Amino acid sequence: MTWQTFAFVIVAGLAFGYSGYRLSILYRLMKAHRGKANRLDRIGDRVVAAIADVLGQRAVLRKRGAGIMHAVIFWGFLVITLGTLEQFVSTIYQPANFEFIGEVPYRVLLWMQDFFTLGVLIAVGFAAYRRYVIRPEGLGKSHDANVILTFTSSLMVAIFLMNAFHILGANPWFADSLPISKQLSRALATLGFGQETNHALGIFFKWVHMLIVLGFAMYIPSSKHLHVLAAGPNSFLKTLDRPKGMKPIDFEDESVQQYGAAKITDLSWKDALDLYSCTECGRCQDLCPAYNTQKPLSPKALIVDLKENLYRNKASLLAGKGDEVGPVIDENITDEVIWACTSCRACEIACPVFIEHTDKIYDIRRNLVMMESRFPAEVQPVFKNMETNATPWAFSSAERANWAEGLNIKTMAEGAEVDVLLWVGCAGAYDDRNKKVVRAFASILKKAEIKFAILGNEEQCTGDPARRIGNEYLYQTLAKANVETLNRYKVKKIVTACPHCFNTLKNEYKEFGGHYEVTHHSQFIAKLIAEGRIKPTKALDESVTFHDSCYLGRWNDVYEQPRKVIGALPSVRLVEMKNNHDQGMCCGAGGGRMWMEETIGKRINVARTEQALDTKAGVVASSCPFCMTMLSDGVKTKDMQDKVKVLDIAELIDQATP
């Protein structure tokens, strides 16, 4: 046993012991969460996704510059860590090394290590340039980042110096496989040290390298660099499908006394893993419509603040005193933060490590609404309307079918034999502007000779606004009533012009026994056009820009059909806004924001309208009644209503179809 073995075993033992202890605390904090999350289904899909997203860096590479930078560092560390491992092993027991894999593979490994050491050094240089010179807003300032960049670059420099002095001091047989280090050794040779000095310096820098690695290991659990351990598992345990329903609450279960998250530990262990995975890259914040219009919500800050809240309660949780944990709403996570979310899901789509921000916000809202009756005052009449008349607006359910007067549209109650049920939605039923959209869509259905009917006064709000605002109880009352009605008429196929109804009917009624084939009218019209059942012939010599609805796009991956529908108009020119497809910006109405005042910062609908006006298009096309309202208001605010029309895709097609 040499002094090196002795020293290394003690130092590494202490370092890994400390690191392991810190990780065990994080594990215990994770286990202290009460919420449930089942993420061990479909293992095969999970393995495939994790290989692509972690090893392949798929999600990270969605952002070009920073993505490539990260991928180089990540792959570099994979390769270099093999070298570090070899170093550890041979320090403990000198003759042991990785040469047993054969000369050629060993040379390839070393060669890769040499090049990746330079690659990582360049990437870290770019990271520093980005962070300190370009300074993208999303990154912000981070003490952690300073430490990590110093650590990482020092590691690479230490490796080069170690290799170079080793080459000078010991001239190993594989020196040719370390071309960059060898080049460096030539430069260092000019220093004129003797062979023994060079040998000693080689060992010195090996220790510098090993000690930095061990220091890093100790630093990781308490820093944002924890993502190197958490993000991989988090990617493996992610929600696999893009469309996802909100977690239902079982109100029959009398053992549950707390609905939603009052404390951080009311969230699930997976939520905690989300917090551990965040590396504060700021991609979520860059796309957040609330953050970009000066609201107090930043999805990144929310995650950081939740983590801080969890750590603040560490002592109580480790002592098993869960009841001493403070509220999740604190000086950072205020009520305004929680209510600012439009649930557009841009943050989740942007996140390279699959953090699910919206679920946490929903859970916190559930507690505020159901347990504490604490929500913006203007929401109370919305709940009352939904309770009394099954619509968020103040209208009688007896008036629900008034939009169809004179159109000769049958209701299911009249025993109509139908191909498809037209789900009108509250906006289509009661809002004057959106009534026109539903009439246009009904007209298209008639022109295509589709047999359809409506539920008429039997239709109720799907409950989506209540659910997104946090009133799961009210949502379930409405959902169960609708499922009962739909199942009574044995409805199989549903089409709707409202993406919120679409999402709820399609993804969120299953848990209440409602299984239907649900299509959005954009998909339905696209199919009618493709099948030649609708032939838009009237030219529209105009440029049209399409605004993606969040609940159609990001929640359900429907981006192309509405564009195909617009493209079917003769002479039309489709122009995209700065933010489009999954990078599209919310109109500001999702997540129940449709019914809340917007008093802080710039209005989201105006910001989005400005993007639409920037395209110089004469028509802003929408496929969602809420977007329609928000964009129409936005165009009026900008005093452009005489020059720019906001139209639903159904109106465009109906106008153009004889």
Partner 1 sequence: MNIYVCIKQVPDTETKIKLNADSSGIDLAGIKWIMSTYDEFAVEEALRLRDKNPGSTVTVLSAGPARVVDSIRTALAMGADNGIHIDLPETADNNMAAKALAGALKKETKIDIVFTGKEALDDGAAQVSQLIAEYLDAACATVVLGTEYSGSSVKVRREVEGGAIEVIEAPFPVVVAAQKGLNEPRYASLPNIMKAKKKEVKALKAADVGISDSDQKLRFKNFQLPPPKQAGKKIAGDPAAQAKELARLLHEEAKVV
For residue 642, give the 3-state DSSP assignment: coil
Which C-beta is closer to partner 1: that of 399 or that of 419?
399
Q: Smallest distance, Å, CB 504 to partner 1?
A: 21
Q: CB-based burial of residue 89 (10 Å sphere; 0-12 exposed, 13-18 middle, 19+ buried)? A: middle
Give the closest residue to 233 by CA, choosing from 498, 50, 405.
Answer: 50
Taking CA atoms, 171 is separated from 180, 374, 604, in Å, by 15, 73, 65
Q: Smallest distance, Å, CB 465 to partner 1?
A: 15
Q: Smallest distance, Å, CB 401 to partner 1?
A: 13
Dist. CA 51–CA 106, nearest whole Å: 25
CB atoms within 10 A of CB 541: 10
- φ, ψ of residue 623 to 5 degrees: the values are -135, 25
**Residues found near partner 1 in the complex (CB under 8 A):** 257, 259, 369-373, 375, 377, 380, 383-385, 388-389, 394-399, 473
- The answer to whether 460 and 482 are in contact (CB under 8 A) is yes
CA atoms within 13 A on the CB side of 238: 31
Q: Smallest distance, Å, CB 389 to partner 1?
A: 6
Which C-beta is closer to partner 1: that of 252 or that of 531?
252
CA atoms within 13 A on the CB side of 215: 13
Q: Please give the structure tokens belonging to residue 455.
A: 């539920």
Q: Smallest distance, Å, CB 392 to partner 1?
A: 12
Q: Smallest distance, Å, CB 380 to partner 1?
A: 5
Q: Smallest distance, Å, CB 404 to partner 1?
A: 17
Which C-beta is closer to partner 1: that of 75 or that of 375?
375
CA atoms within 13 A on the CB side of 198: 20
- The answer to whether 32 and 317 are in contact (CB under 8 A) is yes
Q: Smallest distance, Å, CB 483 to partner 1?
A: 21
Which C-beta is closer to partner 1: that of 268 or that of 389?
389
Which C-beta is closer to partner 1: that of 237 or that of 370?
370
Which C-beta is closer to partner 1: that of 108 or that of 394?
394
Which C-beta is closer to partner 1: that of 150 or that of 380?
380
Which C-beta is closer to partner 1: that of 468 or that of 608?
468
Q: Which amino acid is at 246?
A: M
Q: What is the three-state SS of 192-231?
A: CCCHHHHHHHHHHHHHHHHHHHHHHHHHHHHCHHHHHHHH
β-sheet bridge partners, residue 453: 421
Q: Smallest distance, Å, CB 254 to partner 1?
A: 9
Residues with Cβ within 8 Å of 32's Cβ and at least 6 positions away in sequence, in order, are: 265, 317, 322
Which C-beta is closer to partner 1: that of 263 or that of 520?
263
